[in-house]
């Protein structure tokens, strides 16, 4: 899709086309729409990230919680399923799946949201190592890191959706 088309969309169409970029959180697209026109795809991404940054902490937490656990064999958005498959998380051994499930549960218990990692370009070993490391973080720093990962995920999704030109 061309950015020029995005810039001419009415709010409902804009939300319909881009509301999925931030997992099950169309409010991000809704709040970013007013920043049109976007000079570049990067400007669109920045406007969406700014909408999240300006949002109340409760909205930010809901955004984090909208994401599925990595490697979980459950219903998730097509975008998440494709991203996880690309990282090999759909091909875990039984032992890897058990460890990932245990780490995901411990992470969620500690922080109150799922472990978030922009998996594009990473493999299952990279992801497992990041999870082992980040579970040691303090809650405030992990909240910031989780949002940063969500921003990276959204950037990757926009790169696949909006033409650079």
Residue positions annotated with a catalytic role:
67
Q: Do residues 83 and 120 make contact, with C-beta atoms less than 8 angstroms apart?
A: yes
Helix, strand, coil % in the chain, rounded to nearest 5: 65, 0, 35
How big is the chain by its Cα radius of gyration, in Å? 16
Reduced to 3 states, what is the DSSP secondary structure of residue 159?
helix
Cα of 127 vs its chain's centroid, Å: 15
Contact by Cβ (8 Å): 50, 32: yes
| Tokens coding 13 | 């169409």
């Amino acid at each position: 899709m061309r950015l020029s088309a995005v810039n001419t969309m009415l709010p409902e169409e804009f939300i319909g086309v881009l509301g999925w970029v931030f997992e099950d959180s169309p409010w991000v697209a809704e709040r970013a729409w007013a920043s049109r026109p976007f000079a570049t795809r990067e400007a669109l991404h920045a406007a969406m990230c700014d909408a999240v940054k300006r949002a109340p902490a409760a909205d930010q937490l809901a955004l984090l919680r909208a994401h599925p656990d990595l490697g979980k064999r459950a219903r998730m958005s097509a975008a998440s399923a494709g991203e996880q498959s690309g990282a090999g998380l759909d091909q875990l051994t039984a032992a890897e799946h058990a460890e990932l499930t245990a780490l995901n549960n411990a992470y969620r218990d500690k922080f109150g949201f799922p472990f978030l990692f922009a998996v594009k370009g990473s493999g299952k070993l990279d992801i497992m190592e990041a999870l082992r490391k980040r579970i040691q973080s303090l809650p405030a720093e992990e909240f910031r890191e989780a949002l940063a990962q969500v921003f990276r995920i959204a950037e990757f999704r926009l790169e696949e959706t909006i033409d650079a030109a």
